[in-house]
Amino acid sequence: MSSLNKGLAKIEVALKWDPSPAGTPAHDLDIVAATYPAHDAHGEPAYIVHFGSRSPDGTITLNRDSRTGQGFGFDEVMILELDRLAPSYARVVVGVAIQQQGGRTTFGDIAGTGLRIREGYTELAADDFSGVREATAATVAEFTRAETGGWEFHRTLRGFDTDPAAFAEKMGARS
C-alpha cells in the first residue's frame, strides 16, 4: 500500500453460542467471509472462506471451529489481515450461517449467541443476533477499501432465510 493512511489492519471476528439441550441435535454456527475483487465489488466473490478453508494468500483464516458451542467464551474465531490483502480486492463481507442438520433452526432458537468484532483491543461491534431472530444466516460486517488504500468497517446486520451454501453466494449482494 502506497498511502500513509493505514486504515484497519488485523481484525478478529469471534462467535459464541450455548450448546443445544441434551437429546437434541447440536447447533453448529459458522463464520463465513467472502472477498470481492476491486473491478466488481458487488458481483461474485473471488473466494469464500469458511470452516476447513482459508484464503489462498493466508490473509483470512478460521482459527477455531466449533460444531457444538461447547467451551468457554467464544467458540469460533476468524482473523482477517486486511492490511496484507492484495490491492486487487476492495471488499470483504463477513457473515454467520447456521447449519441446518436437525430441521430449520434460527438465531432465535439458539441460546447465548454472541458476536464480537475487534481490531486489537478496540471493539468495533458486538451483537446477540436478536435483531435477526427469525433468520438462519446473517451478514455482520462489511470491510471496504477506501480511495486512500486503507480499510474501513461498516456494521451490517442483515438476516437471510437460506441454507449455508446459498448464503455464501448471496451474502454480498446489494439489498
Q: What is the CATH number of the domain that holds 79?
A: 2.60.60.30
Q: Is residue 108 part of a domain?
A: yes
Q: Is residue 1 part of a domain?
A: no
| pLDDT, tens digit only, all 175 positions of the chain | 344 557 999 999 999 998 888 888 888 899 999 999 999 999 999 999 998 888 999 999 988 666 666 666 788 999 999 999 999 999 999 999 999 987 899 999 999 999 999 999 999 999 999 999 999 999 999 999 999 899 999 999 999 999 888 998 889 887 6
Structure-block grid coordinates of residue 136:
438462519
Global pTM? Answer: 0.92
Domain count, the chain: 1
What's the pLDDT score for residue 16? 94
Q: Is residue 103 part of a domain?
A: yes
With CA atoms as reference, report the closest residue to 26 among 69, 63, 62: 69
Burial class (CB in 10 A: 0-12, 13-18, 19+), 19: middle
Q: Is residue 75 part of a domain?
A: yes
Q: Is residue 62 part of a domain?
A: yes
Contact 168, 97 (CB under 8 A): yes
Structural domain boundaries enclosing 151? 10-168
Q: Is residue 175 part of a domain?
A: no
- Kindly state the greatest CA–CA separation across the chain: 56
Which H or E element spans position 168? helix 164-170
What's the pLDDT score for residue 65? 62
What's the pLDDT score for residue 64? 67
pLDDT in tens, 57-76: 999 998 866 666 666 678 89
Q: Is residue 173 part of a domain?
A: no
What's the pLDDT score for residue 72? 66
Q: Is residue 5 part of a domain?
A: no
